[in-house]
Amino acid sequence: MLEVNGIYKNFGDLQVLKGVHLNVEKGEVVSIIGVSGSGKSTLLRCMNLLEEPTFGEVWMEGRLMTPVDPYLHEDVIRASNTFKKLVADGMNDTDAIHKIKDEDLLKEKRKGAEGAEYAALMQKIYDENHIDINLGRQKMGMVFQNFNLFNNKTVKENITLAPVKIGKQRLKAAKKRGEKTVKTPADIEAEANARAMQLLERIGLQDKADVYPSTLSGGQRQRVAIIRALAMDPDVMLFDEPTSALDPEMVGEVLDLIKDLVRSGMTSVIVTHEMGFAKEVSDRVIFMHDGVIAEEGTPDQVFNHTKNPRCKEFLSKVLY
Amino acid sequence: MTLGSFLTNIINIMAKYWQVFLLRGIGYTLLLSIIAVAGGAFFGSIFALLKRSRIVVFKAIISAIVSVVRGTPMLLQLYIGVFVFPMIIPKLASLPYIYSVTIVLIINSSAYVSEIIRSGIEAVDPGQMEAARSLGLTQHTAMLSIVLPQAIKNILPALGNEFIMVVKETSLASTFFVGELMTSYLLVKGNTYLTMECLFIVGVLYFALTFILSKGLAAWERRMKAHA
Amino acid sequence: MKKILALALAAVMVFAFAACGSSKDSGTADNPAAAYDKYAKEFKTDGKSGTLTVALSPDFAPMEFYDIAKQGDDAIVGFDVLLAKYLAQELDMTLALKPMSFDACQAAVQTGNVDIAISGFSWTVERAENYELSDWYVAGDNETQQSIICLKENAGKFTKPEDFKGYKIGYQGASLQQVLVGETFGDMPDVDTSYVFVDLGTAVEALKAKQVDFLAVAHGNGESIMANDSNIDFTGFDFEVDDIYKNNVCLLQKGNTELLEKVNAALAKALSNDYYSGWYDASKVYAGVSTLDELGFDDEGNKITE
C-alpha cells in the first residue's frame, strides 16, 4: 500500500539514507527502531515527502509521488543512449545495466541527453502513475514529535482547517469541471465541525474545542494532533516519535490512543523509542542502522532472536 | 553663550519661524516617513516573496538590492537617486527632487522591511509549515493560513521600529532641501546663523516625534499580545 | 489609545492645512523685502527657449536664503537668485531653482542634473579644472572684502597678521577663506589654522564656545552673523584679496561651452550696466544685515539716486 523503493537521502555531503526498500501492507503496523541518527525519522519524513528523497521512489496505493527514478526501471535504462553505447561497444546487457547503476551514469546528464526513447519512456511512466503530492499526503496522516499544532488556531480550528480548505478546493475544482455539486461550502464546514467534535469527544477533550493549543498539556496536544490527522480520513498514519517530547506521566494517554487506533485496523508506521509498545502493537519491527534496514521481522524475531550484532547491541542497551 | 541668551534666542526663533519647524518640518518628516514605510511595507513584501521564490534571477536581484541598500550610507543612496535616477527615468528630471528622494526612501525601506518580513517568517517554527503540508494543504494555503498570521506578530513590532528609524533617516533628505525637519534647521540656521539654538529645536522635535511614536507602538503591541 | 491616535492625527491635519494656506504677512510699512521684490518682479523668467535649472544652497544669507513667508521657488531669495532670474531673462529661458546642499550643487552640475550652479562659488584652480567656470560677477563686499571676526571683547585689537600669533583661526572648508588663511598665515607656525568647519553656522558655534579665537569670513556673511548675535564683531583685520578671488563665478558642466558663452555675454552686460550693487544692497536689506535707509532705498524699495 505504501511503498518506498531505493530511497537515498543526502543532506549536503552527509548520506542519511543509503537505499531503503520498504513495503507497508494494508492494515499492517510497522515500527521502526534504531539509535538516533540512524535515519529512521528521515525515512518516515521521506514517505510523505516532507523530505524529498535524493534518489528513489515513493508509491502510495499504486500511485507515484516522486519523480521517476530511472535506476528502478530496467526498461528505462535499456532505452538510454548510455546503455546503447555500452552494448554497441561489446558489453553484455546485464553488465551494462550494472555498470550504469553502480557508476550512476544517468544522473549527471540532462534529460534530453539520453535520447528521445529514454525521455519518452520516463514521461510515460510519470504520466501513467503520478499523483499530485498534496493528494498523496491527504491519504497519509502525520504525527510529529513536537505536536506542531497550529498556534494561531483554536483546537477545533486545528482539526477542521485542512478538511474545510481541501473540501472547498475540491468543490471549486468540481464546479470548474462542470460537475453538479450537491454540497455547499457551508455544508463542508458543518460536516468538518461535527467530525471535529466527534473526534474530540473520543479523546475526552470536547470542552477544549475553543481554546488555543498553548493552554493544553503536552499529552493533550499530542492527542489533538493525532485526531487532527484522523480528520482527513487517512489510509495510513505516520508517527514520528510521538511520545519523545512528553513528560513521562503523559506518555500513557498518547500510547493508549495509538493502540486504540491500531486495533481498529489503521495502517501505521511508527518511529519510536518505546520498545515495550513496539513489541506489543507491531506486526513487523524494522531496525535501522547507518541509513539502511539492518534487521526486520516480527517483534519476536527482532527482539528475541536477532542475529544482527548491531541490533543485539542496541536492544541490550534499551531493554536493560 | 549664556543659558539666558540661548533660551531667549530659541524663543525668538520659534516666534518667527514656528511654522517652518512645526508645520513644514514635522509635516514633511511625517509625510515622507509614512510614504517610505507604507511603500516599504508593500514593496518589501514583494521583495520577501520574490526572495523566497524559486526563480533564481529574482532572488539574485533582490539579494543584490538588499545588500547594496544595507551596505551603503543613506546619503550616498540619496545622491544616486537624485542625480542618477533621472538619467534612467527622464520623467524624473522635470520633477522636484522630493520625488527622487521619496523613491530612494521607499527602496531603502523596502530593503529593510523585506529583511524584517523574511526573519519574521523564518522565526515561525518550521514544524507549523510541515504540519500544514503533511495534511495535504498547498504551500500557498499553508503560508496564508498558518505561517503568515504567526509571522505578522513578529513583523509588526519590527515594522514600527523601522518607522522610527525612517523618521530619523529622512533628515538626510535635507541635502536636497525637501522641506522636512532638518531642512527647517538648515533654512533657519542659514537665515540666523544661530546653529545650536536651531539644532536644539529640531532635536527636541525629533525626540518628541519618535518618543510619541514608540509609546504608541508599545501600547499597540501590548494590545496585540493581549488579544493573541 | 484610539483617542490619542485620533488626536494626533487631527493635529497633523490641522498643521497640514495651516501649512497649505500659510499667510503672506510681508506687507508692513517697514518691509525689508520691498527693494528686493521690486528687482525680482522686473525679470521675465518664463522664456521660450527651454528651462534653465539652477542649483544653489540657500543657507548662505545674503547670497541665497529662504523667506518663510513666501511659497515655492519665490521663497528662495538673495543676490544669486536675482542673478539667476536675470540670466533666465537674458537667455529667454524658464527658470527652475533647485535648492540643495553646497556639495550637492557641484555634484548636480557634474552629472548634468542642473544646467548651472550659482551659489557664491569662488574661483579656484581645482574648480577650473573640473568645471566650466563663467566670467566673474561682483557680489558686493561679500567677496571683495574678506575679514576676520571674533567675540566682541577682542574687537579692534587685531589688525595685522602678526597680532594673531598664538591664536586659533577657523574657517569653512573648501571656501575662499581657506585659501586666504593659507596664504596669509601658512608660513606662521605660531598661528593655529587647523580648524576646518563644514559650514559657517557650525564655525560660529565654535567661536561662541571659544574653541577657536577667530573666524575668517566674507564681510557680508560676517554682517549677517552679527545681525543675529551682538556678541560677535569684526576684528578690524581684512585680508588682502587677489583680484582673482574678489568675485564669484557660476559653475557649468565641463564641455557645456554653448551655455557658457551665453552666460558670459549676459554677465558682461550686467557688469557694464552696473546691476550688481543694487541687487546686492537689496539682498542685504532683505537678510536683515542693513536697513533700507542705510543703503539708500526709500520705503517702497526704490533706490534713491543722487
* pLDDT on residue C201: 85
Stretch among A4-13, A246-255, C117-126, C135-144 having the lowest mean pLDDT: C135-144
Q: Which residues contact A77 (CB under 8 A, 6 or more apart)?
A: A70, A71, A83, A97, A100, A101, A106
Q: Is A48 on the interface with B (CB under 8 A)?
A: yes
CB-CB under 8 Å, B128 with A138: no
Let me know the angle formed at the C-alpha of B39 by B34 and B43, rounded to the nearest 5 degrees: 155
At C24 the pLDDT is 35
Q: Do B192 and C228 touch (CB under 8 A)?
A: yes
Averaged over C38-47, what is the pLDDT? 92
Confidence grade of residue B4 (pLDDT, cut at 50, 70, 90) = confident
Is the model's pLDDT at C241 over the cut of 60?
Answer: yes
Q: Do chains B and A have 3 or more beta-carbon pairs under 8 angstroms?
A: yes
What's the confidence (pLDDT) of residue C293?
A: 66
Count of beta carbons in the 10 Å neighbourhood of residue C236: 16
Query: What pLDDT is attached to residue C220?
Result: 86
Cβ contact B27–C224 (<8 Å): no
Q: Does C204 touch chain B (CB under 8 A)?
A: yes
Mean pLDDT for chain B overall:
91
Answer whether C282's CB lies under 8 Å from C80's CB.
no
- Asked whether the predicted pLDDT for residue B53 surpasses 80, the reply is yes
**Looking at the predicted structure, is the pLDDT value of residue C30 above 70?**
no
Among B29, B212, B41, smallest CA distance to C1 is for: B212
Residue B19: per-residue pLDDT = 87
pLDDT score, position C173: 83
- Give pLDDT, residue C54: 95
- Judged by a CB distance cut-off of 8 A, whether residue B72 touches chain A is no
Whether the pLDDT of residue C15 is over 60: the answer is: no
3-state secondary structure chain C: CHHHHHHHHHHHHHHHHHHHCCCCCCCCCCCCCHHHHHHHHHCCCECCCCEEEEEECCCECCCEEECCCCCHHHHEECHHHHHHHHHHHHCCCEEEEEECCHHHHHHHHHCCCCCEEEEEEECCHHHHHHCEECCCECCCHHHHCEEEEEEHHHCCCCCCHHHHCCCEEEEECCCHHHHHHHHHHCCCCCCEEEEEECCHHHHHHHHHCCCCCEEEEEHHHHHHHHHHCCCEEEEEEECCCCHHHCCEEEEECCCCHHHHHHHHHHHHHHHHCCCHHHHHHHHHHHCCCCCCCCCCECCCCCECCC
Say how many CA atoms lie within 13 Å of A95 toward its Cβ. Answer: 8
Q: Give me the residue from B133, B136, B146 closest to A166, CB to CB.
A: B136
Mean predicted lDDT score pLDDT of chain C? 84
Q: Which residues in chain B have Cβ-Cβ distances shorter than 8 Å to A225?
A: 131
How far is the C-alpha of A162 from the C-alpha of B133, rounded, in Å?
10
- Does A232 contact B136 at a Cβ distance shorter than 8 Å? yes
Percent pLDDT > 70 in chain C is 84
* Structure confidence at residue C32 (pLDDT): 85
Examine the pLDDT at C140 and tell me if it is beyond 70.
Answer: no
Could you report the per-residue pLDDT of B112-123, keeping only the tens digit for each? 999 999 999 999
Tens of pLDDT, residues A126-162: 999 999 999 999 999 999 999 999 999 999 999 999 9
Give residue B172's pLDDT.
94
Option in C98, C200, C201 nearest B97 (CB):
C98
Beta-carbon pairs below 8 A across chains A and B: 66
How high is the pLDDT of residue B168?
94
Is a pLDDT exceeding 60 seen at residue A265? yes
* pLDDT of residue C174 exceeding 80: no
Please tell me the predicted confidence (pLDDT) of residue A128: 93
CB B145 within 8 A of CB B128: no
**Residues found in chain C:** 306
- The residue that leads in pLDDT, A39 or C246, is A39
**pLDDT at residue C306 tops 80:** no
Residue of B nearest to C59 (CA): B190
The pTM assigned to this predicted structure is 0.77
pLDDT at A109: 58
The four Cα atoms C116, C119, C124, C130 give a dihedral, to 10 degrees, of: -30
Mean pLDDT of A217-246: 95
pLDDT at C12: 47
Q: How confident is the model at residue B78 (pLDDT cuts 50, 70, 90)?
A: very high
Q: Does C113 touch chain B (CB under 8 A)?
A: yes
Question: Which residue(s) pair with C167 in the sheet?
Answer: none
Candidates C15, C107, C200; nearest CB to B26:
C15
pLDDT in the model for residue C227: 87
In this prediction, residue A39 has a pLDDT band, given cuts at 50, 70 and 90, of very high
ipTM over 0.85 threshold? yes
pLDDT for C20 equals 41
Q: In this structure, which long-range contacts are made by residues B70-79, counting pairs with CB atoms below 8 Å and at least 24 apart in sequence? A: B70/B111, B70/B112, B70/B115, B74/B108, B74/B169, B74/B172, B75/B172, B75/B175, B77/B104, B77/B107, B77/B108, B78/B104, B78/B172, B78/B173, B78/B175, B78/B176, B79/B175, B79/C104, B79/C107
pLDDT at A319: 75
Residue with cell 564669484: C248
Given a cut of 60, is residue B190 above it in pLDDT?
yes
Do residues C237 and C147 lie in contact, with contact meaning Cβ atoms separated by under 8 Å?
Answer: yes
For residue range C76-106, what is the model confidence (pLDDT) as tens digits? 999 999 999 999 999 999 999 999 998 899 9
Dist CA A68 CA C291 (whole Å)? 92
> What domains sit in chain B, N to C, each tagged with a CATH number?
3-226 (1.10.3720.10)
Do B190 and C287 count as a contact with CB atoms less than 8 A apart?
no
Query: Residue C145: pLDDT band by 50, 70, 90 thresholds?
Result: confident
pLDDT tier, A189 (very low <50, low <70, confident <90, very high otherwise)? very high
The secondary structure element, H or E, covering residue A311 is: helix A309-318
- pLDDT at residue C287, as a whole number: 86
**Interface mutation vs chain A, best among B134, B138, B227, most A CBs within 10 Å:** B134
The neighbour count for residue A267, using CB atoms within 10 Å, is 21
User: Residue C215 CB: number of other CB atoms within 10 A?
Assistant: 28
Ordered domains of chain C (ranges, CATH):
3-141+247-286 (3.40.190.10), 146-243 (3.40.190.10)
Q: What are phi and psi of A119, to 5 degrees?
A: -65, -40
Chains A and C touch (3+ CB pairs under 8 A): no
For residue A14, the model assigns a pLDDT of: 92
Say if residue C288's pLDDT is above 60: yes
Residue C6: the pLDDT is 53
pLDDT band at A111 (very low <50, low <70, confident <90, very high): low
CA distance C124 to C176: 8
pLDDT of residue C13: 45
pLDDT of residue C19: 42
pLDDT higher than 80, residue C137: yes
Which residues fall within 8 angstroms of residue A146, CB to CB, at 6 or more apart?
Answer: A245, B125, B127
* Residue B142 with chain A: CB contacts under 8 Å: none
C200 touches chain B (CB under 8 A): yes
Whether the per-residue pLDDT at C17 is higher than 60: the answer is no
Of the candidates A165, A237, A156, A233, the one whose C-alpha atom is nearest the C-alpha of residue A201 is A156
Between A109 and C107, name the one with better pLDDT: C107
Q: Which residues contact A296 (CB under 8 A, 6 or more apart)?
A: A284, A285, A286, A287, A302
Segments in chain B forming alpha helices (H): 3-18, 26-52, 56-71, 74-83, 85-88, 90-93, 97-122, 126-134, 139-142, 148-169, 181-192, 195-227
In B, minimum Cα distance to C113 occurs at B83
In a mutagenesis test of the C interface, which of B30, B174, B191 is the best target, namely the one with the most C β-carbons within 10 Å?
B191
Chain A residues whose beta carbon lies within 8 Å of the beta carbon of residue B146:
150, 152-153, 161
- Cα separation, A197 vs A181, in Å, equals 25
